[in-house]
Structure 1
Amino acid sequence: MHILVLGAGYTGVSTAQQLARRTGATVTVVNNRDRFVERMRNHQLASGRRPRHLPLRDLFRRTGVRLVVDEVTGLDLAARQVELARGAEPIHYDLLVYALGSHADLSGVPGAAAHAHAVATAEQAERLRERMRTAGTVAVVGAGPTGLETATELAETHPDRTVRLLTGGALGDWLSERGRDHVRRALDRLGIQVWEHATVTAVDAGGVRLDGGDHVAADAVAWTAGFAVPDLARRAGLAVDRRGRMLVDGTLRSRSHPEVYGIGDAAAGHTQDGQVLRMGCGPGGLAAACAVHAITARRAGRTPVPLRVKGDALCVSLGRSDGVLQFTDLDGRPRERLLTGRPVAMIKKGVLRATGWHNLRHPTLALAAARQG
């Protein structure tokens, strides 16, 4: 049996390692680069910190996983094969794991693709880092977790620069009242200027324009205002939702093609109660663990256990010594339970160390932590 995994992000790497170890199948990973990118550290990369060098071949050494570095251009579901940009021949599979993740959406606002810098990939974060060498003012568009982390990291690293944070709604409207108050104090401490209820309608070389006609000047624009998924699943004929995320059942198996599983941001995983998981590393890790258990259970003739998740949490750094850990319901509603300050910064540091180093080398522990099956 040949299992093909598309994508080598957090979920793709751990899933491939575990399937090779637990199924005895031949496992191949296709990824568009030969190194692992710690996406959760890209805001640090944009501020000037150097990333760890994590070659994928080192992560897959002695696991039996085969790595193909290439770009996926198409899926032939009927023939069960994947077409590659540089590959001479398509790769055939018996079972496919679709883990292509998400990317920054710069398509919806005129000028964003030409003038804004996203932080979704290492290359984008590096371009923002280079721009910050000469930029006196930077506007960060979007005040979700990525926006807050980017704005605070840049402000702390470059205290002599002006950082402006723009959000289409109220600042921290996804946090509890205590969480919002803490974020506002952190931004004030770092001197970050905040524009609330500011919808960006255009980006140009000198900043951003708002829906009311005002222009916010900036030498650089960091874009964190939305993410999209590849259209590969839709083009191939897999069942997808309106955002293009693959529709899967409670065991992460495609609703339209049972030989395909979808994990991470590119799939609309859901719990036994029907609540769709948000995009993010935490939910993606749980979904990946559930998919591994489901695949191994079915191969052994057992009935797999659907994904079980009761709550969620957002751990957001606010510079290197501050943060907010907001516990939420699965629908995103904030709970009163909240942690703030230096302890959260230490927790976030531990999370980054675990997901970007320890769990990649010891995925069995992450699998056990998911408590699936």
Structure 2
Amino acid sequence: MVVGDGLTGIEAATEIAEARPGLSVTLIARGRLGARLSAGAGGHLRQACDRLGITVLEHTSAEAVEATRVLCADGTALASDATVWTAGFGVSPIAAAGHCRCPAPRPATPQRQAIEAIVGRLTGRKIAATKLIHNCNLISLGRRDGILQTIDDEGRAKPKHRGGRKPARIKGHPQDGAVGHLAPHLRHAQPQAPPGRRP
């Protein structure tokens, strides 16, 4: 059982189903499966789930996980030998107490962004919002299938997508994608000490 139909949940369910075809894999989606994808990419995702034999439970809210079952908001208990939780999670008590509003993603770790948001909120410092630094999401649907979904500056799906082997190859072999183009330069990069410090 995989709870959550975000990118991580989709990849977990499809990769488990492909790697272990004898297992019964269920994906729980709070809303419509692929709701954050374009119509074409959503259709490709549905075909992949059908091909892999994944049971999709749409409009289902999981509330708790026990040793042998998942409890849903409507009172349904779903039997599960193993559960992968990829759904959202609650706000940290520290962030909630600070009434933080996180800025848009920046080229820093989420932890760094959270720290900057908390410090900014507590000190009155303005937190600069920036645009997303990528223009697509790569979604693995197993080793031989995937979706490249173009997105706008707000992270919303654009109509254009590509499905099939090529996105799977890019996702599975980063040397074929952007990271691969940077690799030769990274091999010769020298570590730099932070400003004001000597190595």
- For 1:360 and 1:152, locate their aligned partners in 2 and report how far apart those are by CA, in whole Å: 32
Deviations 1:248-289, CA, capped at 9 Å, x for gaps: 9x9x6xxxxxxxxx81223179xxx95554xxxxx4xxxxxx
- Give the partner amino acid of 1:162: S
**1:332 shift after superposition:** 2.3
- Where in structure 2 are the equivalents of 1:46-85 lying within 5 Å? none
SS at match of 2:173: helix
Cα 1:265/1:177, change in 2 over 3 Å: same
- Partner residue in 1 for 2:163: 340
- For 1:228 and 1:327, locate their aligned partners in 2 and report how far apart those are by CA, in whole Å: 28
- Partner residue in 2 for 1:193: 55
CA contact (8 A) 1:174 1:332 kept: no
- Partner residue in 1 for 2:8: 146
- Where in structure 2 are the equivalents of 1:299-314 lying within 5 Å? 312-314=135-137
SS at match of 2:63: strand
Identify which of 237, 241, 248 aligns with 2:100.
Answer: 241
SS at match of 2:161: strand
- Partner residue in 1 for 2:154: 331
Identify which of 186, 189, 195 aligns with 1:362.
Answer: 186
Deviations 1:67-117, CA, capped at 9 Å, x for gaps: xxxxxxxxxxxxxxxxxxxxxxxxxxxxxxxxxxxxxxxxxxxxxxxxxxx
Cα 1:172/1:214, change in 2 over 3 Å: same
**1:352 shift after superposition:** 6.8
- For 1:241 and 1:363, locate their aligned partners in 2 and report how far apart those are by CA, in whole Å: 39
| Alignment length (residue pairs) | 174
- Give the partner amino acid of 1:241: C
After superposition, the CA RMSD in angstroms is 3.6
- Partner residue in 2 for 1:263: 108
**1:328 shift after superposition:** 0.9
- For 1:360 and 1:202, locate their aligned partners in 2 and report how far apart those are by CA, in whole Å: 47
- Where in structure 2 are the equivalents of 1:146-165 lying within 5 Å? 146-165=8-27
- Partner residue in 2 for 1:317: 140
Percent of aligned positions with the same letter in both sequences?
Answer: 38
**1:165 shift after superposition:** 0.2
**1:191 shift after superposition:** 0.2
- Partner residue in 1 for 2:86: 224
CA contact (8 A) 1:207 1:216 kept: yes
- Give the partner amino acid of 1:177: A
Deviations 1:303-354, CA, capped at 9 Å, x for gaps: xxxxxxxx62100010000000000112222111111001111111233776
Cα 1:209/1:227, change in 2 over 3 Å: closer
**1:363 shift after superposition:** 7.6
More strand by share: 1
**1:206 maps to 2:29:** no
Deviates more, 1:328-337 or 1:180-189: 328-337
**1:361 shift after superposition:** 7.5
Deviations 1:147-170, CA, capped at 9 Å, x for gaps: 111111100111001000001111
Higher relative contact order (CA 8 A, sep 6+): 2
Unaligned runs of 5+ in 1: 1-138, 253-261, 278-282, 284-310, 366-373
- For 2:37 and 2:16, locate their aligned partners in 1 and report how far apart those are by CA, in whole Å: 22
Cα 1:224/1:360, change in 2 over 3 Å: farther
Unaligned runs of 5+ in 2: 117-127, 190-199
- Give the partner amino acid of 1:340: G
**1:194 shift after superposition:** 0.2
- For 2:83 and 2:92, locate their aligned partners in 1 and report how far apart those are by CA, in whole Å: 24
- Give the partner amino acid of 2:110: D
- For 1:168 and 1:359, locate their aligned partners in 2 and report how far apart those are by CA, in whole Å: 39
Cα 1:140/1:360, change in 2 over 3 Å: farther
- Where in structure 2 are the equivalents of 1:113-152 lying within 5 Å? 139-152=1-14
SS at match of 2:33: coil
- Give the partner amino acid of 2:109: G
- For 2:82 and 2:165, locate their aligned partners in 1 and report how far apart those are by CA, in whole Å: 29
**1:355 shift after superposition:** 4.7
- For 1:364 and 1:328, locate their aligned partners in 2 and report how far apart those are by CA, in whole Å: 33
- For 2:22 and 2:76, locate their aligned partners in 1 and report how far apart those are by CA, in whole Å: 25
- For 2:89 and 2:36, locate their aligned partners in 1 and report how far apart those are by CA, in whole Å: 17
SS at match of 1:201: strand
- Give the partner amino acid of 1:150: A
**1:195 shift after superposition:** 0.3
- For 1:240 and 1:312, locate their aligned partners in 2 and report how far apart those are by CA, in whole Å: 30
